[in-house]
Amino acid sequence: MNAQSNNSSNNIASLPTSAPPSSKGSVQSWIYDQIFAAILEQRLAPDTKLAEDTLGEIFGVSRTVIRAVLQRLSHDDVVEIRPNRGAVVASLTVDEVRDVFEARRVIENGAIDLACKRRKKSDVANLKALVESEQEAFEGNDRGAWIRLSGEFHLALAGIAGNKALEDTLRALVSRTSLAISQYETPGQSACSQQDHFAIIDAIDAGDMKSAQQEMTRHLAECEAKLDLDEQEKGTDLRTIFSNIRTGNDKSETL
């Protein structure tokens, strides 16, 4: 029905991909980055249990620091902490996925508005370079890098808007989008096309705000459409299955 969390220990055991503790930055941040990346790059599936002890052994630290990391991850909504029952990789309901895309439409169109007004020459060039890297990763089948770079394009766009608050807000939504993709993507379809990204850049470069917003709206709608949201809904939600049953206490209300 939904993603299974079998052989979970194997999944978790393959976590520390890159360098050891690393010189700069705290160990805690390093562990945070490792787990975050593992989730976004879909090496850890939704609903996978993240046991404190196991993670502590893997990273060579005590549960104390793992607890702190898991708490940070839960703030970013990529991990869910259930009181007394531990942490799991977050899984989104269909409605939550729809909300995330809708919220992104609002925020990213706002960001485009600002970006068109504040863009500098170098911004557009940087943006193009980013999407080219993205394309390389895609063609080289480096799925992890591709997902990451795809998100970074949207964040870079918000960066040009020059509003940290908006950018931070979008960062949370972008990572939730990655989660949604890993949970609902249809096997063949690639979720996010570089052509769309180039089209948005061109419109911004030309200073055509309206057109850029239309492209963005279309792009997000397309990404959402590529997900298998209807199927899952039927399978997961009992209410939907029995939606033909009426019980009298129907509190729907319309203006």
Partner DNA sequence: TCCAGTTATATTGTATCCAAAATCAGTATC
Partner DNA sequence: GATACTGATTTTGGATACAATATAACTGGA
**End-to-end CA distance of the chain, in Å?**
37
Closest by CA to 43, choosing from 19, 7, 92, is 7
Task: Sheet with 86-89: list strands edge to edge.
Answer: 49-50, 86-89, 79-82
Residue 15 binding partner per list DNA, its own copies, none, with a CB distance cut-off of 5 to 8 Å that depends on partner kind: none
Q: Does 87 bind DNA (CB under 7 A)?
A: yes
CB of 51 to DNA, least distance (A): 4
Identify the residue whose tokens are 């700069």: 24
Q: Which is nearer to its own copies, 122 or 141 (CB)?
A: 122
Write the DSSP assignment of 138-185 as a string of letters: HHTT-HHHHHHHHHHHHHHHHHHHT-HHHHHHHHHHHHHHHHHHHHHB
Residue 239 binding partner per list its own copies, DNA, none, with a CB distance cut-off of 5 to 8 Å that depends on partner kind: none
CB of 254 to its own copies, least distance (A): 6
CB of 165 to its own copies, least distance (A): 4
Binding mask 28-67 for DNA (x = CB under 7 A): x--------------------xxxxxx------xxxxx-x
Residue 122 binding partner per list its own copies, DNA, none, with a CB distance cut-off of 5 to 8 Å that depends on partner kind: its own copies
CB of 91 to DNA, least distance (A): 16
Spatial separation of the C-alpha atoms in residues 64 and 128, rounded to whole Å: 42
* CB contact at 8 A, 45 and 179: no
Residue ranges in contact with DNA by CB under 7 A: 26-28, 49-54, 61-65, 67-68, 81, 83-87
